């Protein structure tokens, strides 16, 4: 490990396995299916690990990711609206050989997908995206969801499979999420009651995120959850109180390349390695968390340089020393790497490709 070129992304297998198993156990206790979001790792090997630990299928954002993941999983949810020609035709093609569902919030998406799927002689499952308060995507009222659900139910080649939601606005510590999740749950229940009265089925109610993963039972109508970050965790989930330091499976390993500026050391990981994302819970905490140097802060990034303020460190990292950085936001960080090193139980490192890296369409 000490000879690997830096900077590199190092993932600890034992921690990954523990994170996967903990979620699987929780989900089993609450009769929830797990459909992890593969955008976090973009890796076929890690997707297989999740499937082996009981995941029902995989979630992806992008069609390119879906195509890659289809080689290890034939049950895919595209958690992203699709209405343009490139996406709809690629989805229709994929739906010929795999079970594919798409979450949508417009009739235009339903019609575009139906046209593509009809031409490809395939069938597509549709989930209606309902906004729970994040205000990013999702129809805005239960009535609007019913309207769109009716449209989907009447559209050839589409199968209405249920509801979709994402509580991305819930970022409080788990023991303070009750109020927001109860409100979200009431909205879901109201929507499902409306659908029931209209005779529309909703066998799937898909929700969940990493911050809310272990509070999903507060939304009893969910049938499946889709956390992604939980597998690796990051400085966001750490500062948010959603994991402990021992649950952080992924670090960037960087080398101290310069220490001539007083009070600073420079590492070989900049924005092209760590991303420029700040921590959403502590915006003044710098560009990542240094578990071995908690008094140091990554205060500024150039593309290839990370500047650490070490003025508060009794013993700053030495020139040539390797330091570990837990990225603020692991998902875009992984997307910057073409491969990662997986440290196995014996401490051996294995190079894994980030198979779906850069697939943004």
Ligand X SMILES: Cc1ncc(COP(=O)(O)O)c(C=O)c1O
Sites of contact with ligand X (CB under 6 A): 37, 79, 166, 209-211, 226-230
Is the backbone peptide bond immediately before 7 cis, with ω within 30 degrees of 0? yes
Q: Which is nearer to ligand X, 91 or 256 (CB)?
A: 91
Q: Write down the least CB distance from residue 264 to ligand X, Å.
A: 32
Q: Write down the least CB distance from residue 289 to ligand X, Å.
A: 17
Q: Which is nearer to ligand X, 103 or 120 (CB)?
A: 103
Q: Write down the least CB distance from residue 80 to ligand X, Å.
A: 7
Q: Write down the least CB distance from residue 126 to ligand X, Å.
A: 15
8 Å CB contact between 209 and 174:
no
H or E stretch at 44: helix 44-52
Cα distances from 295 to residues 205, 248, 314, 315, in angstroms, run 44, 19, 9, 10
Q: Write down the least CB distance from residue 118 to ligand X, Å.
A: 26
Q: Which is nearer to ligand X, 131 or 268 (CB)?
A: 131
Q: Write down the least CB distance from residue 134 to ligand X, Å.
A: 9
Q: Quick count: other Cβ atoms within 10 Å of Cβ 117?
A: 26
Q: Which is nearer to ligand X, 259 or 328 (CB)?
A: 328
Place of tokens 């999903």: 216
Q: Which is nearer to ligand X, 142 or 240 (CB)?
A: 240
Q: What's the CA gap between 243 and 323, in Å, rounded?
A: 21
Cα distances from 334 to residues 40, 66, 111, 118, in angstroms, run 7, 17, 34, 36
Q: For helices 13-29 and 44-52, give the axis angle rounded to 10 degrees.
A: 40
Q: Which is nearer to ligand X, 73 or 256 (CB)?
A: 73
Q: Which is nearer to ligand X, 77 or 266 (CB)?
A: 77
Q: Which residues contact 29 (CB under 8 A, 6 or more apart)?
A: none
Q: Which is nearer to ligand X, 69 or 120 (CB)?
A: 69
8 Å CB contact between 23 and 355:
no
Q: Write down the least CB distance from residue 139 to ligand X, Å.
A: 14
8 Å CB contact between 298 and 286:
yes
Q: Write down the least CB distance from residue 37 to ligand X, Å.
A: 4
| Chain CA centroid to CA 225, Å | 11
Extended beta strands in 23-146, E state:
33-34, 58-60, 75-78, 99-104, 124-129
Q: Write down the least CB distance from residue 226 to ligand X, Å.
A: 4
Q: What's the CA gap between 227 and 204, in Å, rounded?
A: 16
Q: What's the CA gap between 185 and 72, in Å, rounded?
A: 33
Cα distances from 347 to residues 11, 14, 87, in angstroms, run 11, 10, 41
Q: Which is nearer to ligand X, 122 or 145 (CB)?
A: 145
Q: Which is nearer to ligand X, 209 or 337 (CB)?
A: 209
Whole-number CA gyration radius for the chain:
22
* Paired residues of 232 in beta bridges: none
Q: Write down the least CB distance from residue 148 to ligand X, Å.
A: 17
């Amino acid at each position: 490990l000490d000879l690997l070129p830096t900077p590199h992304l190092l993932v600890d297998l034992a921690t990954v396995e523990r994170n996967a198993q903990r979620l699987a156990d929780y989900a089993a206790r609450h009769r929830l299916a797990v459909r992890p979001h593969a955008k976090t790792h973009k890796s076929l090997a890690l997707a297989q690990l999740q499937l082996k630990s009981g995941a029902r299928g995989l979630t992806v954002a992008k069609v390119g990711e879906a195509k890659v993941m289809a080689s290890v999983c034939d049950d895919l949810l595209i958690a992203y609206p699709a209405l343009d020609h490139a996406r709809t035709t690629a989805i229709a093609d994929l739906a010929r050989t795999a079970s594919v569902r798409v979450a949508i919030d417009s009739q235009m998406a339903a019609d575009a997908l139906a046209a593509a799927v009809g031409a490809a002689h395939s069938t597509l499952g549709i989930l209606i995206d309902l906004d729970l308060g994040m205000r990013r995507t999702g129809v805005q009222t239960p009535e609007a969801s019913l309207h769109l659900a009716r449209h989907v139910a009447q559209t050839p080649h589409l199968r209405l499979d249920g509801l979709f939601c994402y509580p991305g606005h819930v970022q409080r510590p788990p023991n303070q999420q009750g109020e927001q999740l109860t409100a979200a749950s009431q909205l879901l229940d109201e929507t499902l009651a409306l659908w029931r009265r209209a005779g529309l089925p909703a066998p799937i109610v898909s929700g969940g995120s990493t911050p809310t993963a272990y509070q999903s039972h507060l939304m009893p109508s969910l049938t499946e959850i889709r956390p992604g970050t939980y597998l690796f965790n990051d400085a966001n989930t750490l500062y948010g109180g959603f994991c402990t330091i021992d649950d952080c499976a992924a670090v960037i390993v960087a080398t101290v390349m310069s220490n001539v500026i007083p009070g600073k050391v420079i590492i070989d990981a900049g924005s092209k390695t760590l991303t420029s994302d700040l921590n959403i819970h502590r915006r003044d905490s710098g560009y990542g968390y240094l578990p071995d140097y908690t008094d140091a802060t990554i205060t500024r990034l150039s593309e290839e340089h990370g500047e650490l303020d070490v003025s508060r460190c009794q013993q700053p990292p030495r020139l040539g020393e390797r330091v570990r950085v837990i990225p603020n936001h692991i998902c875009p960080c992984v997307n910057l790497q073409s491969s990662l090193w997986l440290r196995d139980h014996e401490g051996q490192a294995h190079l894994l490709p980030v198979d779906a890296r850069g697939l943004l369409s």
